[in-house]
Amino acid sequence: MLREFRLADWFTLGNAFCGTGAIFAAMRFLQDDVSGDLLVGMALIPLAFIFDALDGRIARWRKVASTLGRELDSLADVISFGVAPAALAYACGMQGGWDWIVLSYFVGCGVSRLARYNVTAEHLSGAEGKVKYFEGTPIPTSLALVVVLAIAAWQDRIGSDLWGGVVMLGRWQLHPLVLMFALSGSLMISKTLRIPKP
């Protein structure tokens, strides 16, 4: 199977590799409490973003875009820009019951966003076969959430010192900072929000 991969597909796998590494780094931080592990995990998300940008450019440059490549790209994006940011947020201290629900909602929105794009890409493409706009924000925009988390970690404002503190709603905790994940997820699944595709 690997022999059939094109150059762009290897960059897509680089994206997935970075996202997986970020998840492992978050788990390592929770295990050993070494802040360097958390920062390394966060640094892998911009690297995943670079791989994600390059795989599309390479596919267009070599004129070898394929259905396999598109599906592979979506799966890698789910890891790097869906599950990994949620794992990093959890490692930063968003561990209350309501936080779990919001972070799970965020990942679900990312998966739904990518599935919708894959299904509608041909319909949205013009005569030249290129999609002109995104419906909802693309999932790589979650990089902005990771930047916020990285600033918080750099300033040692994670765990019990997380910005916004914590609120008890019933028996579960909610860290207000997690609401940025709720907003990001909601924007991803928006049907009315249209963003021009470069």
Cβ contact 41:90 at 8 Å: no
Mean pLDDT value across residues 142-156:
97
Check whether 198 has a pLDDT greater than 80: no
CA–CA dist 186, 137 (Å, integer): 9
What pLDDT is attached to residue 5? 61
As given in the structure block, the two tokens for residue 58 are 């390479």
Domain boundaries, the chain: 2-196
Coil, strand or helix at 194: strand
Q: Beta 133-135 vs 167-169: how paired, if at all?
A: unpaired
Determine the longest span between alpha carbons in the chain, in angstroms: 56
Interval 30-48: pLDDT, tens:
999 999 999 999 999 999 9
Can you give the pTM of this predicted structure?
0.89
What pLDDT is attached to residue 102? 98
**Domain 2-196, CATH class in plain words:** mainly alpha
What pLDDT is attached to residue 134? 74
Which among 127, 121, 40 is positioned nearest to 74, based on CA atoms?
121
Cβ contact 37:25 at 8 Å: yes
CA distances from 126 to 123, 132, 133 (A): 8, 7, 10
Q: What DSSP character marks residue 93?
A: T
What pLDDT is attached to residue 181? 98
Mean pLDDT value across residues 137-149:
96
Interval 99-127: pLDDT, tens:
999 999 999 999 999 998 888 766 655 55
What pLDDT is attached to residue 77? 95
Most confident of 44-53, 114-123, 134-143: 44-53
Q: What DSSP character marks residue 151?
A: H
End-to-end CA distance of the chain: 31
